[in-house]
Amino acid sequence: MVDSRFFSKPERQTLDQICKILGIDVPRGSDPHFEVSGFAKIDEATSTEITFMHNAKYADKLAGTKAFACLITEKYAHLLPRTTVPLIVEAPYLALAILLKRSYSIHNPQASMRGKTFIAKSAVVAEDAIVEDGCYISDHVVIHSGAIIKSGTFVGPNTTILHGVEVGDGSHIESNVTIGFAIIGKSAYIKTGARIGQQGFGFYVGDTYMEDVMQIGRVLIGDNTQIGANCTIDRGSMGDTKIGNYVRVDNMVYLAHNVEIGDCCILAAHVCLAGSVKVGKSCMMGGQVGIAGHISIGDSVMIAAQSGVINDIESHAKVAGSPAENIMTWRKQMVALRKLA
Protein backbone atom coordinates (compact mmCIF):
# COMPACT_ATOMS: atom_id res chain seq x y z
CA MET A 1 0.00 0.00 0.00
CA VAL A 2 1.28 3.46 -0.89
CA ASP A 3 1.69 5.66 2.20
CA SER A 4 -0.34 8.84 1.70
CA ARG A 5 1.92 10.71 4.13
CA PHE A 6 4.59 10.75 1.45
CA PHE A 7 2.70 10.39 -1.83
CA SER A 8 -0.52 11.97 -3.01
CA LYS A 9 -3.47 9.60 -3.11
CA PRO A 10 -4.44 9.06 -6.76
CA GLU A 11 -7.90 9.69 -8.10
CA ARG A 12 -9.52 6.43 -9.07
CA GLN A 13 -9.23 5.77 -12.80
CA THR A 14 -11.39 3.45 -14.82
CA LEU A 15 -9.99 0.57 -16.83
CA ASP A 16 -11.05 2.42 -19.98
CA GLN A 17 -9.06 5.52 -18.96
CA ILE A 18 -5.97 3.45 -18.20
CA CYS A 19 -6.16 1.64 -21.53
CA LYS A 20 -6.46 4.98 -23.36
CA ILE A 21 -3.32 6.25 -21.61
CA LEU A 22 -1.46 3.12 -22.74
CA GLY A 23 -2.90 3.20 -26.25
CA ILE A 24 -4.43 -0.27 -26.03
CA ASP A 25 -7.97 -1.63 -26.29
CA VAL A 26 -9.94 -2.67 -23.24
CA PRO A 27 -9.57 -6.48 -23.09
CA ARG A 28 -12.64 -8.33 -24.32
CA GLY A 29 -15.02 -9.30 -21.56
CA SER A 30 -13.66 -6.74 -19.08
CA ASP A 31 -15.66 -3.94 -17.47
CA PRO A 32 -14.37 -0.64 -18.93
CA HIS A 33 -15.96 1.30 -16.03
CA PHE A 34 -14.19 -0.67 -13.27
CA GLU A 35 -12.34 1.78 -11.00
CA VAL A 36 -8.71 0.96 -10.20
CA SER A 37 -7.53 1.98 -6.71
CA GLY A 38 -3.78 1.84 -7.26
CA PHE A 39 -0.73 -0.26 -8.11
CA ALA A 40 1.14 -2.99 -6.22
CA LYS A 41 3.57 -5.91 -6.55
CA ILE A 42 2.41 -9.25 -7.94
CA ASP A 43 2.06 -10.95 -4.55
CA GLU A 44 0.62 -7.90 -2.74
CA ALA A 45 -1.91 -6.50 -5.21
CA THR A 46 -5.58 -6.62 -4.25
CA SER A 47 -8.65 -7.16 -6.40
CA THR A 48 -8.87 -3.42 -7.17
CA GLU A 49 -5.19 -2.84 -8.00
CA ILE A 50 -2.97 -3.25 -11.05
CA THR A 51 0.31 -5.14 -10.94
CA PHE A 52 3.03 -5.74 -13.56
CA MET A 53 5.47 -8.41 -14.68
CA HIS A 54 8.60 -7.49 -16.63
CA ASN A 55 11.11 -10.03 -15.29
CA ALA A 56 10.86 -13.75 -16.04
CA LYS A 57 12.08 -14.52 -12.50
CA TYR A 58 8.62 -13.62 -11.22
CA ALA A 59 6.62 -15.68 -13.73
CA ASP A 60 5.92 -18.41 -11.16
CA LYS A 61 4.13 -15.87 -8.94
CA LEU A 62 1.58 -14.90 -11.56
CA ALA A 63 -0.78 -17.80 -10.91
CA GLY A 64 -1.25 -16.69 -7.30
CA THR A 65 -1.82 -13.00 -7.84
CA LYS A 66 -5.07 -11.42 -6.66
CA ALA A 67 -4.61 -8.28 -8.79
CA PHE A 68 -7.49 -6.92 -10.83
CA ALA A 69 -5.19 -6.49 -13.85
CA CYS A 70 -1.58 -7.02 -14.84
CA LEU A 71 0.69 -5.14 -17.24
CA ILE A 72 2.33 -7.99 -19.10
CA THR A 73 3.70 -9.12 -22.44
CA GLU A 74 1.76 -11.56 -24.59
CA LYS A 75 4.40 -14.24 -23.90
CA TYR A 76 3.41 -14.57 -20.23
CA ALA A 77 -0.25 -13.56 -20.28
CA HIS A 78 -1.44 -17.19 -20.26
CA LEU A 79 0.07 -17.65 -16.76
CA LEU A 80 -2.37 -15.22 -15.16
CA PRO A 81 -5.42 -16.52 -13.27
CA ARG A 82 -8.80 -15.98 -14.93
CA THR A 83 -9.67 -13.35 -12.33
CA THR A 84 -6.83 -11.05 -13.46
CA VAL A 85 -7.24 -8.95 -16.62
CA PRO A 86 -4.15 -9.11 -18.89
CA LEU A 87 -3.15 -5.64 -20.12
CA ILE A 88 -0.83 -6.71 -22.91
CA VAL A 89 1.90 -4.20 -23.77
CA GLU A 90 5.33 -4.43 -25.37
CA ALA A 91 7.16 -2.98 -22.36
CA PRO A 92 5.35 -3.51 -19.02
CA TYR A 93 7.90 -1.54 -17.00
CA LEU A 94 7.57 1.46 -19.32
CA ALA A 95 3.78 1.21 -19.12
CA LEU A 96 4.03 1.18 -15.32
CA ALA A 97 6.29 4.24 -15.37
CA ILE A 98 3.74 6.14 -17.48
CA LEU A 99 0.83 5.20 -15.23
CA LEU A 100 2.65 5.96 -11.96
CA LYS A 101 3.65 9.39 -13.22
CA ARG A 102 0.00 10.07 -14.10
CA SER A 103 -1.30 8.75 -10.79
CA TYR A 104 1.01 9.85 -7.97
CA SER A 105 3.14 12.78 -6.92
CA ILE A 106 5.56 13.22 -4.03
CA HIS A 107 4.43 15.62 -1.33
CA ASN A 108 6.74 18.64 -1.51
CA PRO A 109 6.46 22.35 -0.71
CA GLN A 110 7.01 23.32 -4.33
CA ALA A 111 3.77 21.71 -5.49
CA SER A 112 1.53 24.45 -4.10
CA MET A 113 3.87 27.13 -5.51
CA ARG A 114 4.21 25.71 -9.02
CA GLY A 115 4.70 28.53 -11.51
CA LYS A 116 5.47 31.05 -8.75
CA THR A 117 8.84 32.23 -7.45
CA PHE A 118 9.64 31.53 -3.80
CA ILE A 119 12.84 32.34 -1.90
CA ALA A 120 12.91 31.38 1.78
CA LYS A 121 13.78 34.13 4.25
CA SER A 122 16.73 32.10 5.55
CA ALA A 123 18.20 31.61 2.06
CA VAL A 124 21.22 33.72 1.11
CA VAL A 125 21.22 34.81 -2.54
CA ALA A 126 23.96 37.09 -3.87
CA GLU A 127 22.77 40.39 -5.34
CA ASP A 128 24.09 39.57 -8.79
CA ALA A 129 22.93 35.94 -8.82
CA ILE A 130 20.02 35.32 -11.18
CA VAL A 131 17.03 33.32 -9.98
CA GLU A 132 14.50 33.16 -12.80
CA ASP A 133 10.72 33.03 -12.50
CA GLY A 134 9.07 29.93 -11.05
CA CYS A 135 12.04 28.81 -8.94
CA TYR A 136 11.66 27.50 -5.39
CA ILE A 137 14.65 28.26 -3.14
CA SER A 138 14.37 26.42 0.20
CA ASP A 139 15.59 27.28 3.69
CA HIS A 140 19.30 27.92 4.25
CA VAL A 141 20.23 27.67 0.58
CA VAL A 142 23.31 29.69 -0.37
CA ILE A 143 23.61 30.94 -3.96
CA HIS A 144 26.86 32.71 -4.71
CA SER A 145 27.67 35.64 -6.97
CA GLY A 146 27.17 35.12 -10.70
CA ALA A 147 25.18 31.91 -10.39
CA ILE A 148 22.18 31.43 -12.70
CA ILE A 149 19.20 29.34 -11.62
CA LYS A 150 16.87 29.03 -14.58
CA SER A 151 13.08 28.94 -14.52
CA GLY A 152 11.10 26.30 -12.66
CA THR A 153 14.05 24.90 -10.70
CA PHE A 154 13.70 23.55 -7.17
CA VAL A 155 16.65 23.89 -4.76
CA GLY A 156 16.38 21.93 -1.50
CA PRO A 157 17.41 22.99 2.01
CA ASN A 158 21.07 23.58 2.93
CA THR A 159 22.28 23.37 -0.67
CA THR A 160 25.19 25.56 -1.76
CA ILE A 161 25.60 26.75 -5.34
CA LEU A 162 28.97 28.38 -5.92
CA HIS A 163 30.08 31.31 -8.06
CA GLY A 164 29.11 31.20 -11.75
CA VAL A 165 27.26 27.88 -11.68
CA GLU A 166 24.39 27.56 -14.16
CA VAL A 167 21.42 25.26 -13.53
CA GLY A 168 19.05 24.58 -16.43
CA ASP A 169 15.28 25.02 -16.62
CA GLY A 170 13.06 22.72 -14.60
CA SER A 171 15.86 21.07 -12.65
CA HIS A 172 15.45 19.56 -9.19
CA ILE A 173 18.28 19.78 -6.65
CA GLU A 174 17.66 18.06 -3.34
CA SER A 175 18.99 19.01 0.11
CA ASN A 176 22.63 19.27 1.21
CA VAL A 177 24.06 19.38 -2.30
CA THR A 178 27.18 21.37 -3.20
CA ILE A 179 27.71 22.47 -6.81
CA GLY A 180 30.65 24.45 -8.13
CA PHE A 181 32.42 25.01 -11.45
CA ALA A 182 29.49 23.40 -13.25
CA ILE A 183 27.02 23.96 -16.09
CA ILE A 184 23.94 21.78 -15.65
CA GLY A 185 21.36 21.17 -18.39
CA LYS A 186 17.58 21.20 -18.40
CA SER A 187 15.45 18.94 -16.19
CA ALA A 188 18.44 17.60 -14.27
CA TYR A 189 17.79 15.77 -11.00
CA ILE A 190 20.57 16.01 -8.39
CA LYS A 191 19.86 13.92 -5.31
CA THR A 192 20.67 14.51 -1.66
CA GLY A 193 24.29 14.99 -0.63
CA ALA A 194 25.86 15.06 -4.10
CA ARG A 195 29.16 16.92 -4.47
CA ILE A 196 29.83 18.34 -7.92
CA GLY A 197 32.78 20.34 -9.20
CA GLN A 198 35.38 20.10 -6.46
CA GLN A 199 39.15 19.90 -7.00
CA GLY A 200 40.20 16.49 -8.30
CA PHE A 201 42.95 14.13 -7.17
CA GLY A 202 45.91 15.67 -8.99
CA PHE A 203 49.36 16.50 -7.63
CA TYR A 204 53.07 16.31 -8.40
CA VAL A 205 54.99 13.84 -6.22
CA GLY A 206 58.48 14.97 -5.30
CA ASP A 207 61.09 13.07 -3.32
CA THR A 208 60.17 14.76 -0.05
CA TYR A 209 57.05 16.82 -0.87
CA MET A 210 53.87 17.03 -2.95
CA GLU A 211 52.59 19.94 -5.02
CA ASP A 212 48.88 20.16 -5.82
CA VAL A 213 48.05 20.84 -9.46
CA MET A 214 45.24 23.36 -9.76
CA GLN A 215 42.24 21.94 -11.60
CA ILE A 216 41.03 24.60 -14.07
CA GLY A 217 38.20 22.73 -15.82
CA ARG A 218 34.46 22.40 -15.27
CA VAL A 219 31.70 19.80 -14.93
CA LEU A 220 29.20 19.74 -17.80
CA ILE A 221 25.99 17.80 -17.21
CA GLY A 222 23.47 17.30 -20.03
CA ASP A 223 19.68 17.50 -20.16
CA ASN A 224 17.40 15.06 -18.28
CA THR A 225 20.30 13.51 -16.40
CA GLN A 226 20.07 12.21 -12.84
CA ILE A 227 22.88 12.17 -10.27
CA GLY A 228 22.31 9.90 -7.27
CA ALA A 229 22.63 10.62 -3.58
CA ASN A 230 26.14 11.17 -2.20
CA CYS A 231 27.82 11.02 -5.60
CA THR A 232 31.12 12.84 -6.11
CA ILE A 233 32.01 14.36 -9.48
CA ASP A 234 35.33 16.19 -9.77
CA ARG A 235 35.83 19.04 -12.21
CA GLY A 236 38.28 18.68 -15.08
CA SER A 237 41.95 19.38 -14.56
CA MET A 238 42.35 20.92 -18.02
CA GLY A 239 39.23 20.58 -20.13
CA ASP A 240 35.98 19.37 -18.63
CA THR A 241 34.34 16.43 -16.91
CA LYS A 242 31.36 15.67 -19.18
CA ILE A 243 28.14 13.74 -18.56
CA GLY A 244 25.70 13.45 -21.48
CA ASN A 245 21.91 13.58 -21.80
CA TYR A 246 19.56 11.06 -20.17
CA VAL A 247 22.33 9.53 -18.06
CA ARG A 248 21.36 7.73 -14.84
CA VAL A 249 23.98 7.72 -12.09
CA ASP A 250 23.07 5.69 -9.02
CA ASN A 251 23.95 6.56 -5.41
CA MET A 252 27.56 6.84 -4.18
CA VAL A 253 29.24 6.84 -7.59
CA TYR A 254 32.63 8.55 -8.02
CA LEU A 255 33.64 10.22 -11.30
CA ALA A 256 37.17 11.63 -11.37
CA HIS A 257 38.48 14.63 -13.28
CA ASN A 258 37.98 14.66 -17.07
CA VAL A 259 35.74 11.60 -17.16
CA GLU A 260 33.41 11.69 -20.17
CA ILE A 261 30.14 9.73 -20.25
CA GLY A 262 27.97 9.53 -23.37
CA ASP A 263 24.20 9.83 -23.62
CA CYS A 264 21.84 7.26 -22.09
CA CYS A 265 24.39 5.46 -19.92
CA ILE A 266 23.47 3.73 -16.64
CA LEU A 267 25.94 3.52 -13.74
CA ALA A 268 24.86 1.45 -10.73
CA ALA A 269 25.89 2.19 -7.15
CA HIS A 270 29.57 2.36 -6.13
CA VAL A 271 30.89 2.60 -9.69
CA CYS A 272 34.28 4.33 -9.69
CA LEU A 273 35.79 5.85 -12.83
CA ALA A 274 39.37 7.10 -12.59
CA GLY A 275 40.62 10.21 -14.34
CA SER A 276 40.13 10.71 -18.10
CA VAL A 277 38.01 7.58 -18.63
CA LYS A 278 35.93 7.94 -21.80
CA VAL A 279 32.60 6.08 -21.97
CA GLY A 280 30.50 5.90 -25.15
CA LYS A 281 26.72 6.03 -25.50
CA SER A 282 24.18 3.59 -24.02
CA CYS A 283 26.60 1.72 -21.77
CA MET A 284 25.58 -0.12 -18.60
CA MET A 285 27.77 -0.74 -15.55
CA GLY A 286 26.77 -2.96 -12.63
CA GLY A 287 27.47 -2.11 -9.01
CA GLN A 288 31.06 -1.62 -7.85
CA VAL A 289 32.60 -1.55 -11.32
CA GLY A 290 36.02 0.08 -11.29
CA ILE A 291 37.73 1.49 -14.39
CA ALA A 292 41.39 2.50 -14.42
CA GLY A 293 42.49 5.90 -15.67
CA HIS A 294 42.62 6.87 -19.34
CA ILE A 295 40.60 3.83 -20.49
CA SER A 296 38.18 4.14 -23.44
CA ILE A 297 34.85 2.29 -23.47
CA GLY A 298 32.88 2.01 -26.74
CA ASP A 299 29.14 2.37 -27.30
CA SER A 300 26.54 -0.07 -25.90
CA VAL A 301 29.02 -1.88 -23.66
CA MET A 302 27.76 -3.93 -20.69
CA ILE A 303 30.07 -4.37 -17.70
CA ALA A 304 29.04 -6.85 -15.01
CA ALA A 305 29.02 -5.93 -11.33
CA GLN A 306 32.38 -5.81 -9.50
CA SER A 307 34.37 -5.92 -12.73
CA GLY A 308 37.78 -4.27 -12.83
CA VAL A 309 38.55 -2.72 -16.23
CA ILE A 310 42.22 -2.12 -17.10
CA ASN A 311 42.05 -2.22 -20.91
CA ASP A 312 39.98 -0.44 -23.58
CA ILE A 313 36.68 -2.13 -24.51
CA GLU A 314 35.20 -2.14 -28.01
CA SER A 315 31.58 -1.21 -28.74
CA HIS A 316 28.81 -3.77 -28.00
CA ALA A 317 31.08 -5.93 -25.84
CA LYS A 318 29.90 -7.67 -22.65
CA VAL A 319 32.61 -8.11 -20.03
CA ALA A 320 32.97 -9.44 -16.48
CA GLY A 321 35.63 -10.23 -13.92
CA SER A 322 38.75 -8.57 -12.57
CA PRO A 323 40.58 -7.96 -14.76
CA ALA A 324 37.52 -7.70 -17.01
CA GLU A 325 37.32 -9.86 -20.13
CA ASN A 326 34.71 -11.26 -22.51
CA ILE A 327 31.83 -12.46 -20.36
CA MET A 328 31.66 -15.90 -22.01
CA THR A 329 35.37 -16.46 -21.33
CA TRP A 330 34.88 -15.36 -17.74
CA ARG A 331 31.98 -17.80 -17.28
CA LYS A 332 34.07 -20.69 -18.62
CA GLN A 333 36.83 -19.78 -16.18
CA MET A 334 34.37 -19.79 -13.27
CA VAL A 335 33.16 -23.26 -14.27
CA ALA A 336 36.76 -24.51 -14.47
CA LEU A 337 37.58 -23.06 -11.04
CA ARG A 338 34.59 -24.80 -9.46
CA LYS A 339 35.77 -28.12 -10.90
CA LEU A 340 39.17 -27.60 -9.29
CA ALA A 341 37.62 -27.01 -5.86
| Beta bridge partners of residue 183, listed in sequence order | 166, 220
C-alpha 159/C-alpha 180 separation (Å) is 11
CA angle, 20 then 26 then 27, to 5°: 150
C-alpha 231/C-alpha 279 separation (Å) is 18
C-alpha 29/C-alpha 245 separation (Å) is 43
In contact, 314 and 299? CB cutoff 8 Å = no
Query: What Cα–Cα distance (Å) separates residue 100 from each residue in 18, 200, 222?
Result: 11, 39, 25
By CB neighbour count within 10 A (0-12 exposed, 13-18 middle, 19+ buried), where does 116 fall?
exposed
Three-state DSSP state, 63? helix
Calculate helix-pair angle for 92-103, 15-22, nearest 10 degrees: 120
Three-state DSSP state, 78? helix
Q: In what order do the strands lie in the sheet with 278-279?
A: 130-131, 148-149, 166-167, 182-184, 219-221, 241-243, 260-261, 278-279, 296-297
Which 8-state DSSP code applies to residue 207? S
Pick the catalytic residue: 257, 270, 294, 316?
Answer: 257
Per the annotation, the verdict on 257 as an active-site residue is yes
| Beta bridge partners of residue 226, listed in sequence order | 189, 248
- Residues serving a catalytic function are 257
